Amino acid sequence: MPETPNEYSTDADVTKSRFADSLGGDEYDDLLLALDFYQEFQNESGHALQGYIAEHCSNRSEVRVLEAGPGTGITTEQILHADPRVHVVTVDIEPKMLDVVKKKFMAVEDYQHRAEFVLADILKFLESCPDESFDAFVSVYTLHNFSPDFRRQVLEVLAKKLKHGGIFINGDKYAREGAEHQHDLAAELKNYEKFDLEATKSETTGNTDRAKHLRQIHQDWDKHLWEDEKNKITVDEQNELFEKLGFENIAWLQRFDLVTTATAIKKMTLLP
Ligand SMILES: C[S@@+](CC[C@H](N)C(=O)[O-])C[C@H]1O[C@@H](n2cnc3c(N)ncnc32)[C@H](O)[C@@H]1O
3-class secondary structure for the chain?
CCCCHHHCCCHHHHHHHCCCCCCCHHHHHHHHHHCCCHHHHHHHHHHHHHHHHHHHCCCCCCEEEEEECCCCCHHHHHHHHHCCCEEEEEEECCHHHHHHHHHHHHCCHHHHCCEEEEECCHHHHHHHCCCCCEEEEEEECCHHHCCHHHHHHHHHHHHHHEEEEEEEEEEEEEECCHHHHHHHHHHHHHHHCHHHHHHHHHHHCCCHHHHHHHHHHHHHHHHHHHHHHHCCEEHHHHHHHHHHCCEEEEEECCCECCEEEEEEEECCCCCC
Where residue 4 falls among pLDDT bands split at 50, 70, 90?
very low
Spatial CA neighbour of 115 closest among 78, 81, 89 = 89
pTM over 0.85: yes
Choice from 8, 29, 92 to test ligand 1 binding pocket (greatest atom count within 8 A of CB): 92
Name the nearest CA neighbour of 91 among 20, 43, 32, 139.
139
Query: Is there an atom of ligand 1 within 6 Å of 92 CB?
Result: yes
Give the tens place of pLDDT for each residue, 131-160.
Answer: 999 999 999 999 999 999 999 999 999 999
The pLDDT-based confidence of 16 (bands split at 50, 70, 90) is: low
Residue nearest to atom 4 of ligand 1 (CA): 71
Which residue type does 237 have? Answer: E
Please give the pLDDT value at position 28: 72
- Give me ligand 1 centre to Cα 71, in Å: 5
Domains by residue range for the chain, with CATH: 5-177+231-266 (3.40.50.150)
Residue nearest (by alpha carbon) to ligand 1 atom 13: 69
Q: What is the pLDDT of residues 59-80, one digit of tens each?
A: 999 999 999 999 989 999 999 9
Instruction: Identify which of 26, 142, 220, 228 to mutate to test ligand 1's pocket (most ligand atoms within 8 A of the CB).
Output: 142
The predicted pLDDT at position 5 comes to: 39
